[in-house]
Chain A
Amino acid sequence: MPVLGADMDEGTVLEWMVKPGDEVHKGDVIAVVDTAKSAIEVESFSTGTIEQLVVGVGETVPVGTVLALITEPGGERAKPARAAPAAARTPRELAEPEPTAPAGPAPHPVSPVIRHRAHELGIDLAAVHGTGRAGAVTRADVERAAVALHQVPEQPAAPSPAAPAPRHPRSRPEAEPRAGRARVTPRARRIAAELGVDLAAVTGTGPAGAVREADIRQAAGAGTPAPAAAASAARSAAERNQSMRQAIARLMARSKREIPHYYVTNTADMTQSMSWLHDRNRELEVSQRLVPAALLLKAAALAARQVAELNGYWVDGAFRPAEAVHLGVAISLRGGGLLTPAIHDVASLELGDLMARMRDLVARARSGRLRGSELTDATITVTNLGDQGVESVYGVIYPPQVALVGFGRITERPVAAGGLVGARPVVTTTLAADHRATDGYTGARYLTAMSDLLQRPEEL
């Protein structure tokens, strides 16, 4: 169970995207884990073959617990899939019984895109006959298999994530997939969870009695959630709010307890940026247009690259600079709470790409589909409260980061320039920084660098 944020102690496996015998590559999403804040897609730390899923769906385990075993290519020993970065725990896999050899033909090499498509369609790649070069499975093979619907994945019927069944991982072998139990497509499983349908009570009408989406919808009652299911969903939203509040409380209290914050503030003239943006957007379709926040984020990232003492982590009494600028972006969720997922390597992104990433990230943050790496990789965070109409924001640093950049609203103000007073768009920028890592002088250099960058928007 990886640490998906400094405030996480334990997590619940909501869904496995892989099964024993599947080939995975580093970075592939292999599971969905529920934390206090949201459901998060967990990526594999290594490349190899899934040997065993150690923690079952619905189980809650502390961070550092081995979730699955992966055999690396050429390796003989199974390795734990993504141990916690700071884990000093005894690997539990040594005490685990040897897993039985996975059934089914060995999987052919499959590209991540095809694998993703297969997952979407609920197709077991191991059972797909490849027609590509060297027997490789092609997209057409996968889609053909989906149409035929004869290849339902060999997955056990898992308890619905709502089922309160936290077990000790050691009891897992008894809960291994049982033959003869109804099979469920991943899509059906997800819909069952959304609608609050108990999978065990659903009769499958697919091949070999597999449970399909239609069966779930029927069980839920003519495609609409039953009142009871709706009520329980609402309750879990309230619970989510409460647990998120507590997670934020813990982390922010820790920040203010441990980090001696200092603050600097500046006013950046946005005349050049706004006029450049306006000219650029005039020629573009709505979907291609930029919002001012894209310029602000890019400037914040480039300035962090220039003033590298603010980009990194305070760990074990010393500052560790980060190689790239992964910009954490505070995103408020409808209904309360916030998440600060990272956009990777912002300093090297084109503005159009950055804009697309921002839109994607906000949409996924609000729908609960962020990836683990997005929640752990931020090297400096930005909060932009300008849309809420405030002039400035003095942030609280996300430990172990050492700085947080704040933007207020871009608004017209009387500004004196060359002995004349004129109305110009300006934005108040603030920096909260860790005084253990840097001094006010460094913070001042950062804000000045950012302001300078915003005067040359064409170079952003």
Chain B
Amino acid sequence: MTPDLAEAAIKEALGQVTPGADTTAIDADADLRDTLELDSLDFLRFVEILSERTDERIDEDDYPQLATMSSAVKFLAGRASR
């Protein structure tokens, strides 16, 4: 998966979890949970949608890598190229 596609998938998933939130202007290094005020259920839903979209298994141990937009893009892009 290219970084562009990964970013699009992440933003789409975030958009579904937080309807109405502006996902276009998220700082690449800002904590996603803080920025979008995601609680643990929201974050789980985010992971769920992202996993469905990208057809990647995302384990709990991978959650830290989904903390920011840049780390999440890196994580997904790295995954798919394996």
Instruction: Indicate, yes or no, whether A interacts with B.
Output: yes
Q: Does A150 contact B (CB under 8 A)?
A: no
Contact of A286 among B20, B41, B51, B61 (CB under 8 A): B51
CA separation between A220 and B8, bound complex, in Å?
31
Contact of A334 among B18, B41, B60 (CB under 8 A): B18
Asked if A286 and B58 sit within 8 Å, CB to CB, the answer is yes
Given A334-B18, A334-B20: A282 and B60 interface contact (C-beta under 8 Å): yes
Asked if A359 and B41 sit within 8 Å, CB to CB, the answer is yes
Asked if B60 and A359 sit within 8 Å, CB to CB, the answer is no
Q: Does A291 contact B (CB under 8 A)?
A: yes
A293: min CB distance to chain B, Å? 6
B20: min CB distance to chain A, Å? 7
Stretch at the interface among B22-30, B42-50, B70-78: B42-50
Q: Does B39 contact A (CB under 8 A)?
A: yes
Asked if A358 and B48 sit within 8 Å, CB to CB, the answer is no
Q: Does A278 contact B (CB under 8 A)?
A: yes
Contact of B59 among A282, A293, A387 (CB under 8 A): A282
Contact of B40 among A278, A334, A387 (CB under 8 A): A387
Contacting residues, chain A, for B20 (C-beta < 8 A) = 334-335
Q: Which residue of B lies closest to A280 (CB)?
A: B60
Given A286-B48, A334-B18: A291 and B60 interface contact (C-beta under 8 Å): no
CA separation between A49 and B34, bound complex, in Å?
51
Q: Does A102 contact B (CB under 8 A)?
A: no
Asked if A287 and B40 sit within 8 Å, CB to CB, the answer is no
Q: Does A362 contact B (CB under 8 A)?
A: yes
Contact of A291 among B18, B41, B51, B58 (CB under 8 A): B41
Asked if B41 and A293 sit within 8 Å, CB to CB, the answer is yes
CA separation between A358 and B21, bound complex, in Å?
22
Q: Which residue of A lies closest to B19 (CB)?
A: A334
Q: Which A residues between 262 and 297 are near B, CB-CB below 8 angstroms?
A: 278, 281-282, 286-287, 289, 291-293
B31: min CB distance to chain A, Å? 10
CA separation between A369 and B40, bound complex, in Å?
21
CA separation between A358 and B45, bound complex, in Å?
12
Asked if B40 and A286 sit within 8 Å, CB to CB, the answer is no
Given A286-B47, A287-B48, A334-B18: A281 and B60 interface contact (C-beta under 8 Å): yes
Asked if B39 and A387 sit within 8 Å, CB to CB, the answer is yes
Contacting residues, chain B, for A281 (C-beta < 8 A) = 60
Contacting residues, chain B, for A292 (C-beta < 8 A) = 40
* Residues 316-348 of chain A, each 1 if its beta carbon lies under 8 Å from chain B, else 0: 000000000000000010110000000000000
CA separation between A269 and B71, bound complex, in Å?
31
Asked if A289 and B41 sit within 8 Å, CB to CB, the answer is no
Q: Which residue of B lies closest to A287 (CB)?
A: B48
Q: A residues touching B (Cβ–Cβ < 8 Å)? A: 278, 281-282, 286-287, 289, 291-293, 332, 334-335, 358-359, 362, 387-389
Using A278-B60, A332-B39 as known contacts, list a sample of 8 further A-B pairs with CB atoms less than 8 Å apart, ordered by residue number in A.
A282-B59, A286-B44, A286-B48, A334-B18, A334-B19, A359-B41, A387-B39, A387-B40
Q: Can you show 5 pairs from A to B with CB atoms below 8 A apart?
A: A286-B47, A292-B40, A334-B20, A335-B20, A389-B34
Q: Please give me the 9 A-B residue pairs with the lowest Cβ-Cβ distance, nearest first.
A: A387-B39, A291-B40, A286-B48, A281-B60, A286-B51, A286-B47, A387-B40, A362-B41, A287-B48
